[in-house]
Amino acid sequence: MKRIAILLPVAALLLSSAAQAAGDLSRADPTEIVIEMGASGDKMYFKPDHIELETGKAYKLVLRNVDEAKHEFEGHEFIEKIFTRKVEITDPSGELVAEIKGPVTEVEVGPNRRVEWFIVPVQTGENIPVECAIPGHREAGMFGTVTIK
């Protein structure tokens, strides 16, 4: 219930501003941030392993898995501090396969695939942890932090 209480005012704000294009975050051009998910030897990584965001700005997180294994991007504190506009999945040629709207708690990306996660941060936080929760991956180094100003 806590999550819904946080998101409803944001959703209402986004919907009510539809007539004012400049303030309509649901249509704002997002800033693109590419996060590579991969492995090198026995290490796994997010690259970069730290990103900086600002509340009220629209972002497109491009989760690019360059590995032969699937990976996840998640963090329970992180997802409480953002509003998800949508998630887009495209085929290797870039054609849209699916667009998913609604709250998202984690994104799993298949081997050599990419997923675009459209978000608007709504709460600030310093070094919010994110990780891949597949067993053994965090331990191998697949984690990072997000600061929201």
Q: Please give the residue ranges that form the binding site for Cu ion (CB under 5 A).
A: 71, 132, 134, 137, 142
How far apart are alpha carbons 115 and 136 in whole angstroms?
22
Bridge-based pairing state of the strands 59-65 and 31-40: parallel
Q: Give the Å distances, CA to CA, from 52 to 30, 48, 49, 136.
A: 14, 11, 10, 26
Closest chain position to Cu ion (CB) = 132
Task: Choose between 122 and 142: whose C-beta lies nearer to Cu ion.
Answer: 142
The Cβ-side half-sphere exposure at 37, using a 13 Å CA radius, reads: 30
CB of 22: closest distance to Cu ion in angstroms?
A: 39
Enumerate the β-bridge partners of residue 72.
Answer: 108
Task: Choose between 30 and 38: whose C-beta lies nearer to Cu ion.
Answer: 38
Task: Choose between 79 and 130: whose C-beta lies nearer to Cu ion.
Answer: 130
CB of 3: closest distance to Cu ion in angstroms?
A: 24
CB of 131: closest distance to Cu ion in angstroms?
A: 8
CB of 116: closest distance to Cu ion in angstroms?
A: 18
Residue 135 burial (CB count, 10 A): 7
Task: Choose between 23 and 38: whose C-beta lies nearer to Cu ion.
Answer: 38
CB of 132: closest distance to Cu ion in angstroms?
A: 3
**48 in Cβ contact with 147 (< 8 Å):** no
Task: Choose between 43 and 149: whose C-beta lies nearer to Cu ion.
Answer: 43
